[in-house]
Amino acid sequence: MSSVRVTVNGMVYQREVEDRMLLVDFIRDVLQLKGTHIGCEVGRCGACTILFNGKSAKSCLLLAAQADGAEVTTVEGLADGNQLNSLQQAFKDNHGLQCGYCTPGFLMASTDLLERNPHPCETEIRQGLSGNICRCTGYVNIVRSVEAAAEAMSPTSAATA
């Protein structure tokens, strides 16, 4: 067993965890944050994507013990209460989801992408999200959603609004 102290969505948690527990299981089963989904369990689909110390990471590839002292953001940490953030709103407005299973992972990977590159072109968006798989869409509306969020988050669009 290991003692883990981790900040998740701004709240500090300290728990005893089995050494082999995956971070995705810690998030879902111990902290009861069900927005982070389990897909392939081998890091290929991206459904479990979170922000780990500010960078996109697949929580099925990390042990909970590795999160000791880390700052984690899950999809639940994006909204401000019931108010969607710009990216979530763009996914809603541009139909960037169908069944929604992959959406939390895409939102987290997109958050990281837009943090690093606030004005990505379509190719950069597709490359930035290449670690996430959607089995329902053709990705067009996902890309469109990220483009719309980038535009909405741009200081120039805020100034003209």
Task: Give the residue among 66, 28, 60, 23 at the shortest CA–CA distance from 44.
Answer: 60
> What is the band of 152 on the pLDDT scale with cuts at 50, 70, 90?
very high
pLDDT for 22 equals: 98
pLDDT for 125 equals: 98
- pLDDT per position as a tens digit, 47-106: 999 999 999 999 999 999 999 999 999 999 999 999 999 999 999 999 999 999 999 999
pLDDT for 157 equals: 57
Residue 41 phi, psi dihedral angles, 5° rounding: 65, 15
Helix (H) or strand (E) holding 156: helix 155-160
pLDDT for 128 equals: 97
Q: Could you tell me which residues come within 8 angstroms of residue 155 by beta carbon, excluding any fewer than 6 positions away?
A: none
Q: Quick check: pTM over 0.85?
A: yes
pLDDT for 124 equals: 98
- pLDDT per position as a tens digit, 104-123: 999 999 999 999 999 999 99
DSSP 83-143: B--HHHHHHHHTT--SS-SSHHHHHHHHHHHHHH-SS--HHHHHHHTTT---SSS-SHHHH
Q: Is the pLDDT of residue 159 over 60?
A: no
Q: Are 128 and 56 in contact (CB under 8 A)?
A: no
pLDDT for 31 equals: 98
- pLDDT per position as a tens digit, 3-37: 999 999 999 999 999 999 999 999 999 999 999 99
**Token pair recorded at residue 158:** 């805020």
Q: What is the mean pLDDT of residues 154-160?
A: 63
